[in-house]
Each structure stands twice: as C-alpha cells, then as structure tokens.
Amino acid sequence: MSAIPHHIAIVMDGNGRWATRRCLPRVAGHKKGVDALRACVRHCGERGVKVLTVFAFSSENWNRPPEEVSGLMELLAMALSREVPKLKSEGVRIHFVGDRSGLSEKVRAGLAQAEAATAANTRLVFNVCFSYGGRWDIAQAAARLADRGEPITEQSLDRAMALADVPDPDLLIRTGGERRLSNFLLWQAAYSELYFTDKLWPEFNAAELDAAIADFGQRERRFGRTSQQLQPPAPRKVA
C-alpha cells in the first residue's frame, strides 16, 4: 500500500478550456469545476488525507473579464449555500485563505458563516484559497511581524503565514497541462512533491486523484539529505 499524503494542494486549472471546447461560456466550466471539487473533497476524506488546499481564485484573477469575475463570485455564494450543510455532516472544516478586503460584504459574511458552521469538524481541513497569492501571503506575514516589532526569521514568518495551522503540502497537483506554480503556496511548497496532469479540472475524478496519490507513493523525499541517510540502519549481526 502506498503512502497517503497528509496534505494535498491543488491548482484546479482548465475549467475555461473545458467549456470553450464545448462551445459553452467559461463560467459553465467553473460550474463543472465545483462538481469535480465536491467529488475530490469526498475522496480525500475517504482516502485518509487530512488537509486539502485548493486554488479557487488568485490575486491575479481579478484581472479577468468582469463577467467571469462576477460569475465566480456568484458561484462561490451558491456553492457555499448548497455545500456547507453537506461539508458539516461529513466532518469537513472549511477555511478561506486570502485577502478578503476586495470581497463584497455579502461574500465576506458567507465565508465567515461557512467557517463558523464547520469549525468543530476534524476529519478533513479544507482550505479554499480565494483572492489569494503566495506573494501576498509572504508580504502580509512580514507586515504582521513588522507591526508587532518581531524579528523576521524563517520560524516567525512561518507562524505568521496564512496556513500556519497545518503542515506544508506533501503533494501539489496541477491539472490542465501547465507546469508552473502561478503564485500558489510559494512558501509552503518548498518541499512538496509536484504532480502535473494534462486532464482538465472538470475531468479530474477519484481515479485521477488515486493515480496522483500512487505516484506520490513512489517518490523518495529527501529534504536535502542523501538517499543513504534515509536508509534504516542495517540490523546488527548477532554472533
């Protein structure tokens, strides 16, 4: 049996292309993306993954056409009202990560309500990065330390980051064929195993997730050490 990553992070790319190939508006691809996300959350819980972090809306996505931005905001509001009761009963704790200052009062209230409603759950932590950028996170952490007059060290920065409550991702998946981080978890992905697939996000299902987990199980994680250092010591010969 292969190792199960404690924390999986996902760049859910390819919704737009999925829709365009079917002559549908891009927002239809995002809607289908919500379906894929629901299945993914469920499967992570079933496989024993403890933390799932997804990139739902980046700091740079604000520059998309206004109708796509408002479509994503509506989709978020709709997904929250539909999905939160299910997440609550399935033991999922939802947490939103990102700069909430640009969000409407209504959306902000929806995020806070979803977090409060699931706060007691412990089966799976589900971080939704929304209006998020890795550079934003590093800058806000540094600004917080500067405000408090605390020295900036790797440890203090780590504790001030938005995902300070969970260990760094073990496995970072990107769908949609691109092979880049696009400002996702720049700090936390330092030692994540990266997995890229050409599947578009709406096509990413339980079997695809299992394939990524199986691939992860084959990796040797050295964290800067050598292979030999990772080998258990040979058993001592008894005379």
Q: Does 5 bind ligand FPP (CB under 6 A)?
A: no
- Cβ atoms of 51 and 121 closer than 8 Å: no
In whole angstroms, the minimum distance from the beta carbon of 24 to ligand FPP comes to: 12
- Assess whether 147 carries a catalytic annotation: no
DSSP labels, 192-207:
PEEEE-SS-GGG--HH
In whole angstroms, the minimum distance from the beta carbon of 76 to ligand FPP comes to: 4
Q: Does 131 bind ligand FPP (CB under 6 A)?
A: no
Q: Does 7 bind ligand FPP (CB under 6 A)?
A: no
List the strands of the sheet with 51-58, edge to edge: 92-97, 124-132, 51-58, 7-11, 171-174, 193-196
Count CB-CB contacts under 10 A for residue 25.
Answer: 14
In 154-224, DSSP assigns E strands to 171-174, 193-196
- Cα separation, 74 vs 80, in Å, equals 10
Q: Find tokens 């890229």 and name the residue.
A: 196
- Assess whether 61 carries a catalytic annotation: yes
Among 5, 9, 16, 41, binds ligand FPP (CB under 6 A): 16
Judged by beta carbon, residue 86 or residue 222, the one nearer ligand FPP is 86
Contacts of ligand FPP in 186-215 (CB under 6 A): 201
Stretch that binds ligand FPP, among 13-21, 92-100, 112-120, 158-166 (CB under 6 A): 13-21
Among 40, 49, 56, 141, binds ligand FPP (CB under 6 A): 56
Judged by beta carbon, residue 25 or residue 217, the one nearer ligand FPP is 25
- Cβ atoms of 175 and 13 closer than 8 Å: yes
The residues annotated with a catalytic role in the active site are 13, 61
Binding-site ranges for ligand FPP (CB under 6 A): 12-17, 30, 33-34, 37, 56, 61, 72, 75-76, 79, 176, 201
